[in-house]
Amino acid sequence: MLSYVARRILQLIPVLFGMSLVVFAIIHAIPGDPAMVILGERATPQALNELRERLGLNQPLYIQYWHYLLQTLGGDLGESIRTKKAIAQEIFPYLAATIELSLSALVFAAVVGVNAGIIAAWRRASWFDYIAMLVALIGVSMPVFWLGLMEQWVFAQKLALLPSIGRYNARETIHAITQFYVLDTLLEGNWAGFWDVVKHLVLPSVALGTIPMAIIARMSRSSMLEVMKADYVRTARAKGLNEFWVIYKHALKNAMAPVLTVMGLQLGTLLGGAVLTETIFGWPGIGRYINDAISFRDYPVVQSGILVVAFFFVLINLLVDILYAYIDPRIHY
């Protein structure tokens, strides 16, 4: 097990290295002279040169890359052109917003998906099974941004049930300690604020969580069906045990490994896929941070934003792999 973990981590090194190269290359392939953009259109050639000098834009690319690599390894993600703040420090609230949304979407996806999958398997070929699987199929086919808009239309605009924009109502004072507002409000015992934050999470989480929900539902159903065929389940049933006992105690435990993997992989996808959801729901997350930076040509932010998301993505995949190997000892690598 340990050697497996060590090997997986070692394998990551070239990937991380390649990632940094790609991110570096992306920025230099974007048309436009960064110095001109930073200084504005009326800059004198002299001022442009000074800036190029300062940012090292005059040096050969490989030197620029080397500097970039050293800087990044040292935890320095550069400075935003637009706000002039250190990105490593500025990025955190955005990252926290995205992680909070992704986790919340995953909770939704898992609670609904796992239960729907189990019931569908338990009542195989019933109307519930058919409907659940049809909904799951539609769920994976839905454009996230369209679903989000429809949710806003129905639940925020027509029915006025739920807020549709942002993380919280600005009337609530939230002291961002951890930047995870659900936690922050709980830590302070600010129940009104907590409830407000949760309400703001509902619509975007459902939008973002629908695809994973659908995948998890299908996955749980099929792995439950596999397991239910197994001998010990049949034995348990033959012993006259209550079916719920059988399913939840025996079957679920065994069916969980593949489902967990899907959940883990989906969390990674959620982090990236949040771009669209964040656009629709005005969520101040990392997707919007990067998107805005692209339109402001804030190169360092685009670079570091993509790098950070990719880093998390890789990290989560690693954890999932390890967890999978741990849960399911039958799998040898």
Partner 1 sequence: MALASTQTVSKYIPTHWYDGWKRLRKQKTAIVGLSIILFFIVAGLLAPLLAPGHWDGQNLAVRLQPPSAQHWFGTDDLGRDLLTRVLYGARISLWVGFFAVAGSIVLGSILGLSAGYFGKWIDTLISRIFDIMLAFPSILLAIAIVTILGPSLVNALIAIAIINIPTYGRLIRSKVLSIKEEEYIAAAKVIGMGHTRIILRHILPNSVAPIIVQGTLGIATAVLEAAALGFLGLGAQPPQPEWGKMIADSRQYITTAYWTVLFPGLAIMLTVLGFNMFGDGLRDALDPKMKQ
Partner 2 sequence: MKKIVSPILGVLLAVSLMLTGCGSQSTTSPSAPQAEKTLIEGRGGDSVSLDPANVTDGESLRVTENIFDTLVAYKPNNTEIIPSLATEWKASPDGKEWTFTLQDGVKFHDGTDFNADAVVFNFQRWMDKSNPYHTGGDFDYFQSMFGGFKGDKGCVIADVKALDKTHVQFRLTVPQAPFLANVAMTAFAMASPDAVKKYGDKFGQNPVGTGPFVFKEWKPNDSITVVKNKNFWQKGLPKLDKLIFRVIPDNTARLTALQSGELDLMDGLNPSDAATVKGNSKLQLVTRPSMNVGYLSFNTTKPPFDNVKVRQALSMAVNKKGLVDAFYNGMALPAKNALPPSVWGYNDAVKDYEYNLDAAKKLLAEAGYPNGFETDFWAMPVARQYMPQPQKIAESIQADFAKIGVKTKIVSMEWATYLKKTKNGEHPMALLGWTGDNGDPDNFLYVLLDKDNANPPAASNISLYKNDKVHELLFKAQITPDIQVRTDLYKQAQLLIHDDAPMVPLVHSTPLLASASYVKGFIAHPTGTERFTEVSIEK
Give the footprint of partner 2 on this chain (CB under 8 A).
32, 36-37, 39-43, 82-85, 90, 93-94, 107, 110-111, 114-115, 152, 156-157, 160, 163-167, 169-173, 176, 191-192, 194-195, 198-199, 242, 244-245, 248-249, 252-253, 256, 260, 279-280, 282, 284, 288-289, 292, 294-297
User: In angstroms, how far apart are the furthest CA atoms of the chain?
Assistant: 88
138 interacts with partner 1 by CB under 8 A: yes
Distance separating alpha carbons of residues 296 and 47, to the nearest angstrom: 20
Candidates 66, 146, 244, 245: give the one binding partner 1 (CB under 8 A).
146
261 interacts with partner 1 by CB under 8 A: no
Q: What is the DSSP string of 286-331?
A: HHHHHHHHHHTT-HHHHHHHHHHHHHHHHHHHHHHHHHHHHH-TT-
70 interacts with partner 1 by CB under 8 A: no
Question: Do the Cβ atoms of 78 and 303 come closer than 8 Å?
Answer: yes
161 interacts with partner 1 by CB under 8 A: no
Candidates 137, 176, 177, 331: give the one binding partner 1 (CB under 8 A).
137
Helix (H) or strand (E) holding 139, with range, is helix 127-141
289 interacts with partner 1 by CB under 8 A: no
Residue 137 interacts, among partner 1, partner 2, none and using kind-specific CB cut-offs from 5 to 8 Å, with partner 1
User: Is 57 or 133 the residue whose CB approaches partner 1 more closely?
Assistant: 133
Residue 293 interacts, among partner 1, partner 2, none and using kind-specific CB cut-offs from 5 to 8 Å, with none
Phi, psi (deg, nearest 5) at residue 227: -65, -40
User: Is 149 or 198 the residue whose CB approaches partner 1 more closely?
Assistant: 149
What is the chain's Cα-based Rg? 24
3-class secondary structure, 268: helix
Q: Kindly report the three-state secondary structure assignment for every residue of 168-235.
A: CCCCCCCCCCCCCHHHHHHHHCCHHHHHHHHHHHHHHHHHHHHHHHHHHHHHHHHHHHHHHHCHHHHH
User: Is 4 or 155 the residue whose CB approaches partner 2 more closely?
Assistant: 155
Question: Do the Cβ atoms of 132 and 116 come closer than 8 Å?
Answer: yes
User: Is 95 or 276 the residue whose CB approaches partner 1 more closely?
Assistant: 276
Distance separating alpha carbons of residues 313 and 264, to the nearest angstrom: 10
User: Is 232 or 245 the residue whose CB approaches partner 2 more closely?
Assistant: 245
Least separation in angstroms between CB 66 and partner 2:
27
What long-range pairs does 9-17 form, CB within 8 A, spacing at least 24?
9/318, 12/314, 12/318, 15/314, 16/311, 16/314
- Site for partner 1, rule CB under 8 A: 11, 14-16, 18-19, 22, 26, 29-31, 137-138, 140-146, 149-150, 152-153, 157, 222, 258, 268-269, 271-273, 275-276, 279, 287, 290-291, 294, 302, 306, 309-310, 313-314
